[in-house]
Protein backbone atom coordinates (compact mmCIF):
# COMPACT_ATOMS: atom_id res chain seq x y z
CA UNK A 1 0.00 0.00 0.00
CA UNK A 2 1.32 3.46 -0.90
CA UNK A 3 2.09 5.72 2.05
CA UNK A 4 -0.29 8.54 2.91
CA UNK A 5 0.75 12.12 3.55
CA UNK A 6 -0.70 14.93 5.61
CA UNK A 7 -0.06 17.74 8.07
CA UNK A 8 0.08 17.61 11.84
CA UNK A 9 -3.03 19.23 13.31
CA UNK A 10 -1.96 18.97 16.93
CA UNK A 11 0.38 16.83 18.98
CA UNK A 12 0.64 16.63 22.77
CA UNK A 13 4.21 15.67 23.69
CA UNK A 14 3.27 15.04 27.32
CA UNK A 15 0.49 12.59 26.45
CA UNK A 16 2.38 11.22 23.46
CA UNK A 17 -0.25 11.48 20.76
CA UNK A 18 -1.87 13.80 18.26
CA UNK A 19 -3.74 13.98 14.98
CA UNK A 20 -2.91 14.32 11.30
CA UNK A 21 -5.09 15.93 8.61
CA UNK A 22 -4.52 13.48 5.77
CA UNK A 23 -4.18 14.87 2.26
CA UNK A 24 -6.81 12.37 1.08
CA UNK A 25 -9.44 14.05 3.24
CA UNK A 26 -11.69 12.03 5.49
CA UNK A 27 -11.48 11.82 9.24
CA UNK A 28 -8.34 12.89 11.07
CA UNK A 29 -5.71 10.21 11.64
CA UNK A 30 -4.58 9.34 15.18
CA UNK A 31 -0.79 9.37 15.66
CA UNK A 32 1.02 7.89 18.68
CA UNK A 33 4.61 8.91 19.42
CA UNK A 34 5.72 5.26 19.43
CA UNK A 35 4.88 4.97 15.72
CA UNK A 36 6.87 8.06 14.71
CA UNK A 37 10.46 7.63 13.51
CA UNK A 38 11.98 10.82 14.83
CA UNK A 39 11.81 13.38 17.59
CA UNK A 40 8.19 13.89 18.69
CA UNK A 41 9.21 17.49 19.44
CA UNK A 42 9.21 18.04 15.67
CA UNK A 43 5.48 17.24 15.46
CA UNK A 44 4.17 20.78 15.51
CA UNK A 45 1.03 21.98 13.71
CA UNK A 46 1.56 22.32 9.97
CA UNK A 47 4.59 20.05 9.59
CA UNK A 48 4.21 17.45 6.80
CA UNK A 49 4.43 13.74 7.55
CA UNK A 50 4.26 10.50 5.58
CA UNK A 51 2.69 7.42 7.16
CA UNK A 52 0.80 4.18 6.67
CA UNK A 53 -2.84 3.96 7.74
CA UNK A 54 -4.74 1.22 9.50
CA UNK A 55 -8.37 1.45 10.55
CA UNK A 56 -10.31 -0.14 13.37
CA UNK A 57 -13.62 0.46 15.14
CA UNK A 58 -12.19 3.63 16.72
CA UNK A 59 -11.04 5.22 13.46
CA UNK A 60 -7.89 5.66 11.41
CA UNK A 61 -4.45 5.28 12.98
CA UNK A 62 -1.03 6.14 11.58
CA UNK A 63 1.99 3.87 11.80
CA UNK A 64 5.49 3.96 10.29
CA UNK A 65 5.23 7.77 10.37
CA UNK A 66 8.11 10.11 9.56
CA UNK A 67 8.66 13.67 8.38
CA UNK A 68 8.28 14.17 4.64
CA UNK A 69 11.71 14.54 3.01
CA UNK A 70 12.59 18.21 3.02
CA UNK A 71 9.91 19.09 5.57
CA UNK A 72 11.09 21.91 7.75
CA UNK A 73 10.38 21.71 11.41
CA UNK A 74 8.66 24.91 12.35
CA UNK A 75 9.87 24.99 15.93
CA UNK A 76 12.51 22.31 16.24
CA UNK A 77 14.03 24.07 19.23
CA UNK A 78 11.41 25.57 21.47
CA UNK A 79 11.89 27.45 24.69
CA UNK A 80 9.11 27.84 27.18
CA UNK A 81 9.70 31.16 28.89
CA UNK A 82 9.10 31.91 32.53
CA UNK A 83 6.43 34.51 33.18
CA UNK A 84 9.10 37.10 34.08
CA UNK A 85 11.04 36.43 30.86
CA UNK A 86 7.84 36.52 28.82
CA UNK A 87 6.72 39.81 30.42
CA UNK A 88 10.11 41.37 29.69
CA UNK A 89 10.12 40.21 26.05
CA UNK A 90 6.55 41.38 25.40
CA UNK A 91 7.10 44.73 27.12
CA UNK A 92 10.19 45.41 25.01
CA UNK A 93 8.34 44.41 21.85
CA UNK A 94 5.39 46.68 22.65
CA UNK A 95 7.62 49.65 23.47
CA UNK A 96 9.54 49.28 20.20
CA UNK A 97 6.47 48.61 18.05
CA UNK A 98 4.21 51.25 19.59
CA UNK A 99 6.22 53.70 21.67
CA UNK A 100 3.16 55.92 22.18
CA UNK A 101 1.38 53.34 24.38
CA UNK A 102 0.81 54.40 27.97
CA UNK A 103 1.94 52.21 30.85
CA UNK A 104 -1.61 51.03 31.53
CA UNK A 105 -2.13 50.20 27.84
CA UNK A 106 1.09 48.16 27.82
CA UNK A 107 -0.09 46.28 30.92
CA UNK A 108 -3.54 45.50 29.42
CA UNK A 109 -2.09 44.28 26.12
CA UNK A 110 0.60 42.28 27.93
CA UNK A 111 -2.01 40.64 30.17
CA UNK A 112 -4.08 39.61 27.12
CA UNK A 113 -1.03 38.22 25.34
CA UNK A 114 -0.01 36.33 28.49
CA UNK A 115 -3.42 34.62 28.68
CA UNK A 116 -3.14 33.71 25.00
CA UNK A 117 0.37 32.29 25.55
CA UNK A 118 -0.66 30.31 28.65
CA UNK A 119 -3.45 28.60 26.70
CA UNK A 120 -0.90 27.42 24.13
CA UNK A 121 1.82 26.38 26.56
CA UNK A 122 4.23 29.08 25.41
CA UNK A 123 4.91 30.34 28.91
CA UNK A 124 5.60 28.44 32.13
CA UNK A 125 3.25 29.74 34.79
The residue ranges of every structural domain in the chain are: 4-67, 81-124
| DSSP code at position 116 | H
Mean pLDDT of 12-26: 92
Among the residue ranges 9-18, 25-34, 111-120, the one predicted with the least confidence is 111-120
Q: Measure CA 39 to chain center.
A: 13
Q: Band the pLDDT of 30: cuts 50, 70, 90.
A: very high
d(CA 121, CA 56): 32
CATH of domain 4-67: 2.40.50.140
d(CA 124, CA 107): 19
pTM of the model: 0.57
60-84, pLDDT tens digit by residue? 999 999 998 766 555 444 566 778 8
Is 22:8 a contact under the CB 8 Å cutoff? no
d(CA 122, CA 66): 25
3-state percent breakdown (helix, strand, coil) of the chain, nearest 5: 30, 35, 35
Most confident of the following: 16-25, 38-47, 113-122: 16-25
Amino acid sequence: MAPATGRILKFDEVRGFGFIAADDGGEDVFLHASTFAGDPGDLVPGVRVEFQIMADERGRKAFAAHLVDGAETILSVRDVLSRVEFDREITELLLVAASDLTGSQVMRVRRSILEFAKERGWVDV
